[in-house]
Amino acid sequence: MDPRISQTDLEALAAKLGESLLARGEQLATAESCTGGWVAQCVTAIAGSSSWFDRGFVTYSNAAKVDMLGVASTTLERHGAVSEATARAMAQGALAHSRADWAVAITGIAGPSGGTPEKPVGMVCFAWAARDGGCEAQTARFAGDREAVRAQSVRQVLLGLLERLEDTRLA
């Protein structure tokens, strides 16, 4: 893991996010691929998270993205699993298949293999969706080994939702 990002740091971000969601009376759902449920693990490490965390989807395979989140196979064929289009579809699918007000999605290439010149190891796509608002996506490229890429991805998605809750871009 990136020495600058500890599990304690990630859980502190999750706790801050929980405080914000709880204050708003809202809930979160997660849709994760390359992080394999790490975001949900950080969230559920927080006592009382059942008040603001509805559910998490770990959709590692393309079939899981289609079956569990309703991602269109044409989206996967046209853009690939690691794309902003797929991340958006994952977040929107998490909202559609939950009672949450907000959803976050992560899909990427954590490595050490699987990268291409167009989509290198460390490329991760994120999406943040609000039930009563829009859906934003972003792509980042992270350095480091598999664990470092995954830790940075968890941090990015939590910080991204905190920022969106604070400035209500999607709210």
Domain ranges of the chain: 7-167
| Per-residue pLDDT at 170 | 52
pLDDT tens digits, one per residue of 48-90: 999 999 999 999 999 999 999 999 999 999 999 999 999 999 9
Q: Is 78 exposed, middle or buried (0-12, 13-18, 19+ CB in 10 A)?
A: exposed
| Per-residue pLDDT at 3 | 56
| Per-residue pLDDT at 32 | 98
Q: Is the pTM of this model over 0.75?
A: yes
Element housing 6 (H / E) = none
Q: Output the six-digit token pair for 18.
A: 């929980």
Q: Output the six-digit token pair for 81.
A: 């699993």
The CATH number corresponding to 7-167 among 3.20.20.70, 3.30.110.40, 3.10.560.10, 3.90.950.20 equals: 3.90.950.20
| Per-residue pLDDT at 132 | 87
Query: What mean pLDDT value characterizes the chain?
Result: 95
Min mean pLDDT across 32-41, 52-61, 145-154, 161-170 is at 161-170
> How far apart, in Å, are the Cα atoms of 101 and each of 44, 51, 72, 83, 144?
17, 13, 22, 23, 33
pLDDT tens digits, one per residue of 138-151: 999 999 999 999 99
